[in-house]
Amino acid sequence: MALYEITTKQEFEEKVLKNSKPVLVDFWAPWCPPCRAMAPILHQIAEETEFDVVKVDTEASQENAQLAMDYRVQGIPNMKIIADGEEVAELIGMKPKQALIDALEKAAK
């Protein structure tokens, strides 16, 4: 549906926590090769499905770094599925596109 890159907690609240559908949140950093490899897959999911994808560069702002700590991100890429304001799934490392779509669809049920 849409891909957002956020840099503030307010954007996170608006795009993720208040979203009526499950959201795929990607915690990443520009220096991380697996994170960069996942980027095209995340873009495809945002374009081809009804789900939003939110990218959180853990080093882009202090607020993003705090979000990563709040969501217990210890390694990247770290993707969370958040539905109704709650974390319902965590996918760590590179994942195939279908695995991410399946996790989003499961959270939507």
Which are the catalytic amino acids? 32, 35
- Round the CA-based radius of gyration of the chain to a whole number and report it: 12
C-beta separation of 29 from 35 below 8 A: yes
Tell how strand 23-28 and strand 78-83 pair up.
antiparallel
Using the 8-state DSSP alphabet, how is residue 109 labeled?
-
Phi, psi of 94 (to 5 degrees): -70, 135
